[in-house]
Structure 1
Amino acid sequence: MTIQRHVPATDAADRAMLEGWLDYHRQTLAQKCEGLTDEQLRTASVPPSDLSLMGLVRHMADVERGWYRRVLAGEDAEPLHYDEADPDGDFHLTGTETWQEAYTTWQAEMDVARRNAAGFGLDDLARGRHRSGERFTLRWIHTHMIEEYARHNGHADLLRERLDGATGD
């Protein structure tokens, strides 16, 4: 499968612009993982960090779940890959994880995120609260998610280059 990225229109309205950039960054992370084996995707390629491409995808599945299910929609959705005993469990791979499993879970969380966001206006407050107790607008959540993906896509650039030399935006 070849991942296609789509840059938002330069004259898009606010919502289309935010959601377009969010999807662009989602597609970028998928593209950084494209063509690698499960073993490569599990490899923490910048020691001593245990950060891996598959770990980033698992992390982003949990981030999508947290912001769009728990905070925005007020759902009782438990974390997928971490818990109190291992708060960085999304990055702690055992060697049995597969790309197909990680990718499918991440895609499913993005699908739910899109559906949940569709029920809110950009300036609507979330139904749930962040662990800090604060409530956020959908605009804030979308902007934060763009930042979150952009930061982790920088990590993904370095991980991918270290794995096989591939570079690019």
Structure 2
Amino acid sequence: MTWRAPEITRKNEPYVGDERTMLEGWLEYHRDTLLLKCAGLTAEQLRTASVEPSALTLLGLVRHLAEVEAWWFRENFARQSVDYPYYIPDNPDADHDVSNADAEADFATYQREVELARAAAAGRSLDETFIEVGPKKRTFNLRWVYVHMIEEYARHNGHADLIRERIDGVTGD
């Protein structure tokens, strides 16, 4: 039997709530949107590039966002040690190289990183600050991470929408 990306029922974004409810709700909405754009596709379809010369694929986006979740929530904010599954120092964009990727395993990695990101932020104040890992040493707070992640997903979900339309003509939310 051919593996296909799981079907998903996306929850609506929150219409009313406090700041934390809105930030978490919108991030969940965008996480679900990425999965919705992949739903029902085979591994081969998920590896289909958007349009030349771009090598952007739905599977590459899933892999990329798994690492972005780990980078901001776990390594930077929670100061956890992260073993990145795709990052290679000589090729920082290796997450987008899906030529030999295992789509089913990559979806499991994505789901695991989302769960770990949720756990890293659970019960923590949006005002809690941290210093960015790396040479820049900028100071951020958890609120910024949520806003940035919403922006990151929104941008890539736009890409995902176009890629999905190219693959099988499916458009929409």
Q: One-letter code of the match for 1:100?
A: E
Shift of 1:114: 0.4
**Within the alignment, does 1:152 sit opposite 2:156 as a pair?**
yes
Runs of 4+ in structure 1 deviating by more than 4 angstroms, as ranges, are: none
Shift of 1:20: 0.3
User: Quick check: 2:74–2:120 contact (8 Å CA) kept in 1?
Assistant: yes
Counterparts in 2 of 1:118-133, with a 5 A limit?
118-126=122-130, 129-131=132-134, 132-133=136-137
**Within the alignment, does 1:167 sit opposite 2:147 as a pair?**
no
User: Quick check: 1:57–1:102 contact (8 Å CA) kept in 2?
Assistant: yes
Partners of 2:91 and 2:85 in 1: CA distance: 12
Residue of structure 1 in register with 2:82 after alignment: 77
User: Quick check: 2:14–2:26 contact (8 Å CA) kept in 1?
Assistant: no
Partners of 1:91 and 1:9 in 2: CA distance: 31
Shift of 1:38: 0.3
**Within the alignment, does 1:100 sit opposite 2:101 as a pair?**
no
Shift of 1:4: 1.4
**Within the alignment, does 1:39 sit opposite 2:8 as a pair?**
no
Q: Which segment is superposed worse, 4-13 or 159-168?
A: 4-13
Q: Name structure 2 gaps, 5 residues minimum.
A: 1-5
* Count of aligned residue pairs for this structure pair: 167
User: Quick check: 2:23–2:146 contact (8 Å CA) kept in 1?
Assistant: yes
Q: One-letter code of the match for 1:134?
A: R
Partners of 1:57 and 1:45 in 2: CA distance: 14
- TM-score w.r.t. structure 2 length? 0.92
User: Quick check: 1:125–1:138 contact (8 Å CA) kept in 2?
Assistant: yes
User: Quick check: 2:12–2:29 contact (8 Å CA) kept in 1?
Assistant: yes
Shift of 1:133: 1.0
Q: Secondary structure at the match of 1:110?
A: helix
Shift of 1:130: 3.5
Q: One-letter code of the match for 1:161?
A: E
User: Quick check: 1:74–1:129 contact (8 Å CA) kept in 2?
Assistant: no
Q: Name structure 1 gaps, 5 residues minimum.
A: none
Instruction: Give me the identity figure in percent.
Output: 50
- TM-score w.r.t. structure 1 length? 0.94
Q: One-letter code of the match for 2:129?
A: L
Shift of 1:46: 1.2
